[in-house]
Chain A
Amino acid sequence: MTDAPETPDAPAPDVLAYELTINGRSHSVPSAWLGESLLYVLRERLGLPGSKNACDQGECGSCSIQLDGDLVCSCCVLAADAVDADVRTVEGVASYSGRGGGAAEDELSDVQQAFLDEGAVQCGFCIPGLIVSVHHLLDREPDADELTVREAISGNLCRCTGYGRILQAIATVQERRSGAGTPGAPAVGGGS
């Protein structure tokens, strides 16, 4: 990561054309530079800026997406290599999330709603990535205990909240998904 920059004389010609499938829809990228990350293409070429650009090196989770069902950082995915992959971003989370997700795009998923209900949002820059990560977690481990939850979101940095309300929101989703009864092992947020 400390390599000297290569010679800067080469231009950045727009030579590549490819198709991407984002949230179930096909998008064509008619002319792009090879070096563009999926995050860049989502934000700057496809008008999907929900995935955020905070570090460009996989150290903050703000750009989290699901790639063929795997939670990854879209800044570490080469856009031109994401052809034929199923890419899911925060913009599609309400319509694809299995539990509690509404069909309509303007509806909120249960995770999004809980983030609002528990005051988990301050500046909000980390929130889209967290929403994607929390869906990924709870769809696979609905009864994740607190430490599991903390580890699962440890790649999503938040600078405003100290995570307390975020953990509370996740616990609330778990409670709501498990119905009126108490969940097996709910995550417990910090707080009063």
Chain B
Amino acid sequence: MSTTTAPPGARGDVRDGIGRTVDRPDGTPKVSGGFAFSSDLHHDGMLWGRTLRSPHPHARIVSIDTTKAAAMPGVACVLTADDVPGEPNFGLEHHDQPVFARDVVRFHGEAIAAVAAEHPEQALRAVQAIEVEYEVLEPLTDPEAAIDADPIHPDGNLFRHLPLRHGDPDATGEVTVEGTYEVGMQDQAFLGPESGMAIPTEDGGVELLISTQWLHVDHGQVAACLGLPEDKVHLTLAGVGGAFGAREDVSLQVHVCLLALATGRPVKIQYSREESFHGHVHRHPARMWFRHTANRDGDLVKLEARLLLDGGAYTSTSPAVLANAVCFAGGPYVFPNAVIDGWAVRTNNPPCGAMRGFGVVQVCFGHEAQMDKLADALGMDPVELRLRNAMAPGSPLLTGQIITGTAPVREVIEACIAHPHPDDPSEDGPPMALPGGAGLTAERGDVRRGTGIAVSIKNLMYSEGFDDYSTARARLELGPDGVPFATIRCAAAEVGQGFVTLAQQIARSELHVQRVELDPADTSIGSAGSTSASRQTWMSGGAVQLACRAVREVLLARAAEREGEPVTGSRRVRFDLRGHEVVDLDTGVAVPVADLLAAGPIDETREHHHAPTDPLDEDGQGNAHVSFAFAAHRATVDVDPDLGLVRVVQIATGQDVGKALNPRAVTGQIEGGIAQGLGLAVMEEIVVDDGHIRNPSFTDYLIPTALDMPPVAQTLIEQPEPGAPFGAKGVGEPPTISSTPAIVAAIRAATGKDITRVPVRPQDICL
């Protein structure tokens, strides 16, 4: 079904290069239980850390008494805000979140103190014995009210207001549709809760083994809060049990280091599932109003939108999330005119930040509902309306930026809808396959089927002028067996996506070696940036490619020197790496790579920057983004309209991938991303009631099981992206973005209900 055509692998007889389906280097330990996740870390003499968190969303801290806790059996130390030697605050964009709350708590679950003890149970009891006197304050929980309310933080309640004015704001058209939409708070809900271990070092510094998405951004924040120079703080990536955005912000990093430095002993912190729900940022809940204007023939004329994101108590990445929401509020369609205003605000709700899709998930739910509504108003087929207005290479974004790369919007839509529909439900099928599953709530006759489609655009990499780069080091040397092998070092966080596999593939293809070793990801090399924004294949893949090519240049130079040629000039074209030899193309003389390495290893480090971008101007205009990926999803659902239960039957998708560098891994990203989109559509929501999280557990925060996730029919659209290493686009985010609105469109089709909120709750359908 896939249009993937496997490009040639590495030259020579090297297997498993770029374009091949390749096994993960960490696969065997992961299936056998031997892979060390951060929660598996163990150290002789280690202590267990635990955090005291606020039970109130908003309160003044009158006093904290740790005396009783500190005297308890097994307790090594108790720390509060008074014990933070460096910067009291941390944060990704603005340092506005306290390491430990001092005078005031601003969200349910905010850290107040930390304990280290010999046994986790002793740590828990000590945390419960810390006496905190609170003066409970009224929580500010309505994001609309937050804009004008008294500030709940010295930095104010408005994280960002972003206006966008494009074309003629007064343009009019013949048909308008408007709607208000709401997205609930989704959680990344990775399987491996936050955990890490800090080990004091002899120089008074600390070694932190941590599951994170971005070692270097942690590094800076941790060192600053510890009051240590950065060279005394060393971070190494520990096994990461999924991320999806939730590990971009600091969680336990500073706490565990403070405990280790205070006690002089290794300390491990491992969040419980409940603490994990309190301890990381979530997807921003959104309230969105859209008005779409078009002409009778279906040409879009104008987009108007007002978008409100609830950022919760601290900034995190709210400003960047808002920029994505505003810039892509129209979806992958061309609008000559637009008037958009977006706000991200501070409340006493749980802090929100990065999650797969990053601001685009929210608006895609709105703009795709609007496109269906508009098609209905025009009496036009919804697919035809989308195709008619689809972006293409050369199209302008709402920001005025022209798409200079590929934009196969038409292609992803056509490939998506070309997949055969699933079989009609059979009368005698197993009841377990109906909505309600094992609950046996429905029979075939109670169920109606519906189909819906949605399309998305997602920016890749960081935007708005951020100097986004990655660093990699490649080393080529002779093994003890006389066979050359490569070693790659890069701080890119492997969170499950498969960068480790890709780094090996790239080195194999570039250097023609079979064996590629991977050094641990740590802060002894330059930053790789975050494993987010669908960026590591492009950014760190590109850095590995550059470093490998630098090694190859040295190899060719060695061959040239051997031939008595000058090291500069024409050698670039005269010598080439062919198989395991460097060949002089003029003379035909071939020198084995092994011979060229006899002089010693070749070791090169390179940084890879993407094309520079500009900040947005006061009208939200500018070349703020690098590249774009597109996807279309068609959902088929069975709905039990009387009970409001839903079973997704099939998802078909076409996705713009640029080039599939490891096709099976791409499939895994697509299926996994769709599962998270399905979760947001029909079940996943952090229920926040007056600032309190009511369901911080896997009992009540539901993610899809194998009985909820349908088969996926997929087509990869491969149009190599100019400027992208190997032509590849990031593939992680698009599957999550338009799968949600496709499923909701299918539910609307099955029920006739105008559903404007996700997740869709049973009562939204049947009451």
Partner-B contacts on A (CB < 8 A): 1, 5, 8-14, 33, 35, 40, 43-44, 47-57, 59-60, 62, 89-91, 93-94, 108, 112-113, 115-119, 121-128, 131, 147, 149-151, 153-167, 188-192
Contacts and interface: CB of A to CB of B under 8 A. Distances in A.
13 contacts: A8-B126, A8-B129, A9-B125, A90-B33, A123-B191, A123-B240, A124-B241, A154-B705, A157-B191, A159-B242, A190-B671, A190-B710, A190-B711
Nearest to B494: A123
Contact of A11 (B27, B31, B125, B672): B125
A124 B672 CA distance: 13
Given A12-B125, A192-B667, A124 B26 contact: yes
Contacts of B497: 122
Contact of A116 (B27, B36, B707): B27
B495 interface: yes
Contacts of A157: 191, 698, 703, 705
Given A8-B129, A43-B40, A167-B706, A125 B665 contact: no
Interface string B683-726: 00000000000000111000111110111111100000000000
A9 B128 CA distance: 9
Given A60-B698, A159-B190, A162-B672, A150 B706 contact: yes
Contact of B273 (A10, A57, A115, A189): A57
B703 A127 contact: no
Contact of A164 (B40, B126, B239, B712): B712
A191 B663 CA distance: 12
A128 B699 CA distance: 21
Contact of A160 (B37, B121, B496): B496
B226 to A, nearest CB: 27
Nearest to A33: B121
B753 interface: no
Interface in B267-302: 270, 272-273
Interface of B: 1-2, 21, 23-24, 26-28, 30-37, 39-40, 42, 72-74, 119-122, 124-126, 128-129, 188-193, 239-244, 270, 272-273, 430, 432-433, 438, 495-498, 664-665, 667-668, 670-676, 697-699, 703-707, 709-715
B30 A127 contact: yes
B674 A162 contact: yes
Contacts of B36: 49
A35 B191 contact: no
B129 to A, nearest CB: 5
A190 B241 contact: no
A119 B663 CA distance: 10
B709 A162 contact: yes
B122 A116 contact: no
B675 A163 contact: yes
B273 A191 contact: no
A101 to B, nearest CB: 12
Contacts of B676: 159
Contacts of B713: 190-192
Contacts of A153: 706
B33 A147 contact: no
Contacts of B119: 12, 14, 33
A81 B26 CA distance: 35
A91 B30 CA distance: 11
Given A122-B496, A151-B706, 9 more contacts: A53-B39, A53-B270, A54-B698, A57-B697, A121-B27, A123-B190, A154-B705, A160-B242, A160-B496
Contacts of A112: 28, 31-32
Contacts of A116: 23-24, 27-28, 31
A52 B433 contact: no
Contact of A121 (B30, B124, B193, B671): B30
B707 A151 contact: yes
Nearest to B678: A162
B192 A125 contact: yes
Contacts of B21: 119
A84 B31 CA distance: 28
Nearest to B268: A44
Given A11-B74, A49-B33, A192 B273 contact: no
B698 A55 contact: yes
Contact of B32 (A52, A108, A165): A108
Contacts of B670: 162
A180 B709 CA distance: 30
Given A9-B129, A59-B699, A122 B710 contact: no
Contacts of B129: 8-9
A8 B125 contact: yes
Given A54-B191, A54-B192, A112-B32, A164 B705 contact: no
A11 B119 CA distance: 10
A147 B495 CA distance: 30
Nearest to B69: A8
A126 B496 CA distance: 11
A10 B121 CA distance: 10
B705 A125 contact: no
Contacts of A189: 711
Contacts of B193: 53-54
B667 A165 contact: yes
Contacts of A118: 664
Contact of B496 (A55, A123, A147): A123
B675 to A, nearest CB: 4
Contacts of B23: 116-117, 119
Nearest to A122: B496
A12 B438 CA distance: 41
B734 to A, nearest CB: 14
Contact of B438 (A60, A124, A126, A151): A151
Contact of B31 (A1, A40, A108): A108
Contact of A123 (B40, B438, B495): B495
B671 A127 contact: no
A50 B32 contact: yes
B498 A128 contact: no
Contact of B697 (A5, A9, A53, A59): A59
Contacts of B272: 56
Contacts of A52: 37, 39, 191-192, 241
The 4 closest A-B pairs by CB, nearest first: A50-B33, A123-B496, A124-B30, A190-B711
Given A50-B32, A62-B191, A154-B707, A55 B712 contact: no
A51 B128 contact: no
Contacts of A57: 273, 697-699
A50 B33 CA distance: 4
A54 B26 CA distance: 20
Contacts of A5: 128
A93 B32 CA distance: 8
Contact of A8 (B40, B128, B710, B711): B128
Contacts of B671: 161-165, 190-191
B550 to A, nearest CB: 31
B121 A12 contact: yes
A12 B34 contact: no
Contacts of B1: 192
Nearest to B4: A192
B121 A192 contact: no
